[in-house]
Amino acid sequence: MAAGFKTVEPLEYYRRFLKENCRPDGRELGEFRTTTVNIGSISTADGSALVKLGNTTVICGIKAEFAAPPLDAPDRGYVVFLSVPNVDLPPLCSSRFRTGPPGEEAQVTSQFIADVLENSQIIKKEDLCISPGKLAWVLYCDLICLDYDGNILDACTFALLAALKNVQLPEVTINEETALAEVNLKKKSYLNVRTNPVATSFAVFDDTLLIVDPTGEEEHLSTGTLTIVMDEEGKLCSLHKPGGSGLTGAKLQDCMSRAVSRHKEVNKLLDEVIQSMKHK
């Protein structure tokens, strides 16, 4: 009987739960779904990570290649997105996506990830330079969503962060005589990841209620969304609110404090994973 009600009046069905301050999957309004992260799963990539936020699954693979540094900044490397979109939402993950050129959702998510990378200055481009003016690293980052159940922005940001922490670049020396690069695959070092940007997404319901980490159904029923990307000093890299119901300053403050606590949770999880990798 509940299933019938849910099909006919999804919003009313949802409101019944919200009145009791909980959601159909049993979570509270400020609770995130179980987050799992697995790094280093793709052996052919220089860095990789798989993140599961409840059912939402995103995998990120990073490959490093050589390139000539940009002419206007000869001491820097590039962090590139392979022919944007770097975020791929294939028909595999949800029935709403079709084959063909990237749809709006994929493009918007790609732009968001590109902005987060640039705003947070997570990697100093100078670190990617091997030889000023001649050779630099290019990092191709690809994120593929394997299962779309809402909150894709948080999952993608986390996957990218974890993958970047997993990237190992071999040592490169330029041979003076031949002017060719010699790669020493035996000596690898980790990338210097300077900050940890963590995204926290909220959905606005009926213009008043804010819930954290919306599932696919909740996103569909919501009247607005908000994503806050914060680094560990409490500085904001991005306050992404693509329209939707209006929010007052007080509500924003609540979201900020939730974002701070989420940052701590994610940091702890990431540290555990990295520690376990290093022990191998």
Partner 1 sequence: MEIAKRADAELGAGTAAEPGPRSPGCSLRHFACEQNLLSRPDGSASFLQGDTSVLAGVYGPAEVKVSKEIFNKATLEVILRPKIGLPGVAEKSRERLIRNTCEAVVLGALHPRTSITVVLQVVSDAGSLLACCLNAACMALVDAGVPMRALFCGVSCALDSDGNLVLGPTTKQEKEARAILTFALDSVEQKLLMSNTKGLYSDAELQQCLAAAQDLSPGFGQLG
Peptide bond just before 85 cis, omega within 30 deg = yes
Judged by beta carbon, residue 48 or residue 86, the one nearer partner 1 is: 86
Cα-based angle 159, 160, 166 (whole degrees, multiple of 5): 90
DSSP 32: P
Q: How far is the CB of 239 from partner 1 (least distance, A)?
A: 5
| Contact residues: partner 1, CB under 8 A | 84-85, 104, 107-108, 110-112, 115, 118-121, 223-224, 231, 234-249, 252, 256
Judged by beta carbon, residue 182 or residue 207, the one nearer partner 1 is: 207
Q: How far is the CB of 207 from partner 1 (least distance, A)?
A: 9
Dump strand ranges (E) for 6-76: 35-39, 47-53, 56-67
Q: How far is the CB of 105 from partner 1 (least distance, A)?
A: 9
* Placement of tokens 């968001």 in the chain: 112
Instruction: Indicate if the alpha-carbon torsion angle 275, 278, 279, 280 is positive or negative.
Output: positive
Judged by beta carbon, residue 56 or residue 120, the one nearer partner 1 is: 120
* Interacting residues of 124 by C-beta distance below 8 A, sequence separation 6+: 192, 194
Judged by beta carbon, residue 188 or residue 235, the one nearer partner 1 is: 235
Pick from 212, 33, 5, 252: nearest CA to 15:
5
Q: How far is the CB of 196 from partner 1 (least distance, A)?
A: 13
Q: Which tokens sit at 257?
A: 């404090």
Judged by beta carbon, residue 124 or residue 235, the one nearer partner 1 is: 235
Q: How far is the CB of 107 from partner 1 (least distance, A)?
A: 4
Pick from 215, 213, 204: nearest CA to 245:
204
Pick from 50, 32, 30, 31: nearest CA to 40:
50
Q: How far is the CB of 254 from partner 1 (least distance, A)?
A: 12
Please give the Cα distance from 203 to 113 (Å, whole number). 19
Judged by beta carbon, residue 204 or residue 212, the one nearer partner 1 is: 204
